[in-house]
Structure 1
Amino acid sequence: MGQFFKFTLASVLGVILAIFLSIFILIGMMTAAISAGDEETVVEENSILRIKLNYPLNDRSVNDPTSIMNLSDFGKENPGLNEIIKSIEKGAEDPNIKGIYLNAPDVSGGPAQLEEIRKALLKFKESGKFIVAYATGYGQGAYYLASVADEVYLHPEGMILFKGFASEMMFYKGLFEKLDVEMQIIRHGKFKAAVEPFMLDKMSESNREQNTALLTSLWSNILNEISASRNISIEKLNEAADQLSLDNPKKALELKFIDGIKYPDEISALLKEKTEKAEDDDLEFLSIGKYKNSAFFKENTVAKDKIAVIYAAGEIKAGKGNDTYIGEENIRKAIIKAREDDRVKAIVMRVNSPGGSALVSDLIWREVTLTTPVKPVVVSMGYVAASGGYYISCAADYIYADPNTITGSIGVFGMIPNVNGFMTNKLGITFDEVSTNENGNYITINKALTPYQREVIQSSVERVYDSFITKVAKGRNMTKEDVDRIGQGRVWSGSQAIEIGLVDELGGMNEAIVKAAELAEIETYKLKELPVQKDPFQQILEDLTGQSSSIMMKHYLGEKYKYVEMMENMENRAVIQARLPFGMSSIK
């Protein structure tokens, strides 16, 4: 028996030692990768800035804990939109950067984000430096970006996916019926389609109407820009999309979507010619992840004044918040910090959110209203700033949106599942209760709402909606009746929003920053990005401690994780929601 315990104890100690050793090795690898990312990059003469967008595009670089699931990915640079645009701007001024090689077969950013990169590339061309685009095949968003280049090339066996926009929604009504789950829904606004997947098996006519109008507006914006860059008529562009004509490189060349058909070695020869390199010389490529660590990229200004840029990204819900969702604390604290900092003369709030909790949205709105009398607040809307995302924006002094921004969705809903039928009929589980008061069981998912309880929630929804449109009316200098007419949960593009008064001007982050400086009456300034990002290793440990199962599921499911997340968060979401319709932000 003694021998058994001795060997057992030795085995346990061995396993523990192995775990700790693995952790220390992992920490060492991560620390080395993080340190390597901080080394200053030397930009050689005749360098080419290479842009590859083969990762999820965020407005700001994100400390992504899922990268530890694949150590070969850890430490790789995934620059945010802010760093991409700044790199393009700096590259135009940097004498060592001779041009840009756009090598992005597919991109995952939204139309508004790609539009901002495209504008930066158009500005880059004014420097007289070249932009060459090449891919073995182009996705639709990738081609939209590539069309700005001086020369666009395609692999001999490649294709361009050019088909128009579609927005697909998944409906769960049939699933819940099979499971005996009743979704109890209370909403205000005929266009508030966020709840439709849980109550219908297809789009309502009002939802189909708003989706069609939105997609038509976004597609029109993109066609106009491609037409201007490639000198192809809108009619010809739509004809190519309808007939899926660009699956053949020769057809793409014939229709003037590309300038040539080449293999990678031929592109290398072309770039060597443009950078005056000998045939046997190596090309000097520089990624944005490396370029942002160069001396030329860094700010040299000695200005004391600052403009705070606050990144409000992700769904709005309870919790502290992080790089990927807006919580009760992170954005509120960032606004307070910027407001109380005397060196910060203005605030730009970059909003990229489909909305979420009405309560948390109101807490952030309150901080904006406390700030505007002290210093200017300008909002820059990203890919989506809708519902709660618009709620937190409406009190700003000035609002910018890109033409392809998804915004509006001024509406409110409540949704509570009743799983009693599922638990009893499918699993054989029953419930019983005692209560001190008539509504002591309010709110539970184990039984249906009583008519009175439903009436109470409907009253709350109406009250929150009235508060929402009152705040929009005050912030936008409109009447409540006018806001109600364009509200009702309806979604608008940035181009449409400016016509109905929801935004002040079309433009991106740069325009918002310039406007903030103008309102603050300052000429020289530094940018201060908030919330302050944690050390990547610290962020990883915190995320792993709090949500390791979600991290692993997200890593392995990838894009499909959004469906799991929607179901996973249903119970955790606030009862009263101000949120964009599920799936509407997935335009492709």
Structure 2
Amino acid sequence: MSKEKPGIIRRFFRLLGGVFSLIRWLLNAVIAIVMVVLIINLFAQDAKPLPEKAALTLVPSGTLVEQRTFADPITQLMEQSSPYDAETPIHDLIESLDTAKNDKRVTALVLDLNHLQQAGLSKLQEVGQALERFRASGKPVIAYADTYDQSRYYLASFADEVYLNPMGGVLITGFGYYGTYLQEALDKLHINFHIFRAGTYKSAVEPFTRNSMSNAARENAASWLNDLWAAYTARVEQLRDLPPGFVERYVAELPESLATAGGDLARLALNKGLVDHLATRTELTEKLKSRVGVIDNDYAHIDHKTYLSHLRLPTLQPGKQTQPAIGVIVANGNIVDGPQPEGTIGSETLSNLLQRAREDSSLKALVLRIDSPGGSAFASEVIRNEISETQKIMPVYVSMGSMAASGGYWIAAGANQIWATPTTLTGSIGVFGLVPTFENSLEKLGIHSDGIGTTSIADMNRLDRPLSPQAAQILQLSVDNIYNRFLSLVAQGRESTIQSIEQVAEGRVWTGQQALERGLVDALGTLQDTIEGAAKAQNLEHWQVKHISRPLTFQEQFLKQLAGSAVSLPRWLGTDAWHRKLMNLLPTGEFAELISADARDPHNLYLKCLSCVAP
């Protein structure tokens, strides 16, 4: 008698079990492969030796930053879609250049600028100074890009030779600041913004109260924009041996000049002396082969990231650990309360780093590198207090990056010395408060708020009710109080008077050069200049630099390494670009940034320069 066949339901579940077993096996296989890749990456990525003779290829990509923004490694693993980093720390570039200038293995420098997307002028200047130091070694510097915007071209101007793709061009447009103004839209939506501010030039609130820029804001923006533009054009003209005013005329006459060149931007750039050669990628590679040699059928080179990985291999350096040290802490991003990852200045996180610095007996001075437009008034004061405590143990020097404005200046004001670059944006000594209420919007929808409170301000924190006159008075008095505190602490830190500081306050933004002339900073220079100045002030002949940063947990280190070793899943699926396109459709995020849970000040009071941009 034949064996009875299983029923259809049993066969279905048996099939389903087999599918799940296959999926489980595949997942285990993927995990095993990833682990193998990770182990290989951990132990073998630096095994390949550096070539005996080669060019160093500097490949800045994405945005030039002081410090990489922290991203959850799992998110990185899911979202990576490019072989080039979204952010490039400028100090990686500077370290590579300053080491390579004396490295006999490095015979030339190739600047590959195709992947640089955004950079503040202050950061470009710091990298440019490192390029000058490298060039002084006598080794040739060659720059190349398929097309140059003004950030790329600024760095290219430091090269001995500038190459451009025949299909490209040099597009210099000048600097500008343009905001989105929402008053009419807010009126149509029946949203009431209650604004409280101290400082005539404190224009951060204007997008919510106007449809256009105020005369005061326009006057102040024109001042610092013109200073930055003058610094840019003068430096490019000097480096490229162009007559004064050339860049201004090139931009103004571009339509006519381009018409004469038949619309060929590359030929126009060559004719005007902005570039030295036109060459395709293949032609450039062949030229480089003939100049620096050939390795693996390409010109002999090593990219700066690989070069750095070799430089940073652990080596035994006798006596270095006993040398006195200058500590460096980077404070980069918006200032908010509580613990925050890299890319945001969290009051608790930065306070912990300052406490660690105080506990390090090898530190003779501390340099705080600030690159911030400000943020929460409360968080700024928490940080300033920790800096004051640190000064009881060692002197604290501030090095300003592209900007250290408003709350960024609040935390800097009491430092032993303040250094800025000529094009740093700083000042913005002013305060504002911002409270939206939606009672009229809700009323249009038929939604009403009613109730009873024991006092006239019991509903002060409700956004569905009108802001009472008493609540408005409380907020304005709080803003005035914070502004007076701001003036007082700046006057004390700068050894000046409140009356003198008032003359340069009122929310005005200054460049580093303007701030030096007005006594808001002590010296102009880079981070390296600040470190050397601190060491000299402490009479140190030999010292080491100690970077103090948030230690990663084991899980973060593991997942970060994994993210750097794996292939992006969205790139396989082709789904990595849709959300970027969607984000481009959204309006400016200034208000959303202010009211987000992480960015909120406990008292809705902000020391922030929303108009500060790094052209």
Shared fold per TM-score greater than 0.5:
yes
Name the amino acid aligned to 1:578: L
In structure 2, the residue matched to 1:46 is 53
2:595 is aligned to: 570
Alignment partner, residue 205 of structure 1: 215
In structure 1, what is the equivalent of residue 462 of structure 2? 444
Tell me what 2:571 maps to: none
Matches for 1:335-346 after TM superposition, within 5 Å: 335-346=354-365
The equivalent residue for 1:253 is 270
Query: 1:317-328, aligned counterparts within 5 Å?
Result: 317-328=336-347
- Taking structure 1 as reference, are residues 284 and 339 closer, same or farther at Cα in structure 2, changes over 3 Å only? same
Cα separation, partners in 2 of 1:434 and 1:279, compared to 1, 3 Å: closer
Q: Which runs of 5+ in 2 are unaligned?
A: 1-7, 259-263, 561-575
- 3-state SS of paired residue (1:471): helix
Per-residue deviation, 1:466: 0.6
User: 1:194 and 1:313 mapped to 2: Cα distance?
Assistant: 20
In structure 1, C-alpha distance between the alignment counterparts of 2:210 and 2:44, rounded to whole Å: 49
Q: Deviations over 1:289-339 (max 9, x none)?
A: 211111488775733222111010000012311111011211111111102
- Aligned partner of 2:251 in structure 1 is 241
Structure with bigger gyration radius: 2
Q: In the alignment, which residue of structure 2 is the partner of 1:269?
A: 286
Matches within 5 A, 1:135-534: 135-244=145-254, 245=257, 248-275=265-292, 277=293, 281-295=297-311, 300=317, 302-303=319-320, 304=322, 305-426=324-445, 428-534=446-552
**Alignment match, 2:3:** none
Return the letter of the residue paired with 1:43: L
1:404 Cα offset (Å):
1.4
Give secondary structure in 2 for the equivalent of 1:563.
coil
Name the CA shift for 1:39/1:296 in 2 (closer, same or farther; >3 Å): closer
User: 1:57 and 1:37 mapped to 2: Cα distance?
Assistant: 29
Provide the rounded CA distance (Å) in 1 between the counterparts of 2:69 and 2:151. Answer: 22
Number of aligned positions between the proteins: 576
CA distance in 2: counterparts of 1:210 and 1:578, whole angstroms: 18
1:570 CA drift (Å)? 1.7
The one-character-per-residue Cα deviations of 1:31-57 (angstroms, maximum 9, x if unpaired) are 459637963562212222112222122
Say if 1:579 and 1:37 are closer, same or farther in 2 by CA, change over 3 A.
Answer: farther
**Any unmatched runs of 5+ in structure 1?**
543-550
Instruction: Check the 8 A contact 1:30/1:537 in 2, yes or no.
Output: no
Distance 2:189 2:314 in 1: 57
Corresponding position of 2:609: 580
Q: Let me know the Cα RMSD of the aligned residues.
A: 3.3
SS of the equivalent of 1:436 reads coil
Distance 1:586 1:385 in 2: 11
Query: Structure 2 vs 1, CA of residues 557 and 404 (structure 1 numbering), >3 Å: closer, same or farther?
Result: farther
CA-CA distance at 1:77 after TM superposition = 9.0
**Can you list the C-alpha shifts for 1:189-223, whole angstroms capped at 9, x where unaligned?**
01001111111111000000111111100011111
Distance 2:70 2:15 in 1: 40
Letter in 2 for 1:424: E
- TM-aligned CA distance change 1:84 to 1:204, over 3 Å: same
Q: 1:29 to 1:230 in 2, by over 3 A?
A: farther
Q: Does 1:112 align with 2:112?
A: no
Rounded to whole Å, the distance in 1 between the matches of 2:335 and 2:29 is: 36
- Aligned partner of 1:81 in structure 2 is 90
Going from structure 1 to structure 2, the CA distance change for 1:257 and 1:74 (only over 3 Å counts) comes to closer
CA separation in 1, counterparts of 2:158 and 2:606?
40
The alpha-carbon distance between structure 1 residues 332 and 30, as it changes in their structure 2 partners (threshold 3 A), is farther
Change (3 A) 1:52 1:416: same
Letter in 1 for 2:308: K
The alpha-carbon distance between structure 1 residues 132 and 126, as it changes in their structure 2 partners (threshold 3 A), is same
Residues in 2 aligned to 1:571 and 1:491: alpha-carbon distance in whole angstroms? 25
Q: CA deviation at 1:171?
A: 1.4
What residue identity is the alignment partner of 2:119?
Answer: G
Contact 1:69-1:552 within 8 A present in 2 as well: no
Give the 3 Å change call, closer, same or farther, for CA 278–464 of structure 1 in structure 2. closer
Say which SS state the counterpart of residue 392 (structure 1) adopts.
Answer: helix
CA displacement at 1:473 relative to structure 2: 0.9
Three-state SS of the structure 1 residue aligned to 2:338 is coil
Q: Is the 8 A contact 1:62 1:80 kept in 2?
A: no
Mark the CA change 1:503 to 1:161 in structure 2 (over 3 Å): closer, same or farther.
Answer: same
**2:118 alignment partner, SS class:** coil
Normalised to the residue count of structure 1, the TM-score between the two structures is 0.89
Q: In the aligned structure 2, how far is the partner of 1:43 from the partner of 1:130?
A: 20
CA contact (8 A) 1:56 1:108 kept: yes
1:273 CA drift (Å):
3.0
Match of 1:202, as an amino acid? S
CA displacement 1:473-514 (0-9 Å, x = unmatched): 111111111111111111111111111111111111110110
TM superposition shift of 1:531: 2.0
Q: Percent identity?
A: 30
Q: Tell me, what secondary structure is at the counterpart of 1:341?
A: coil
**3-state SS in 1 of match to 2:418:** strand
Cross-structure match for 2:572: none
1:538 match: 556
Residue identity matched to 1:57? L
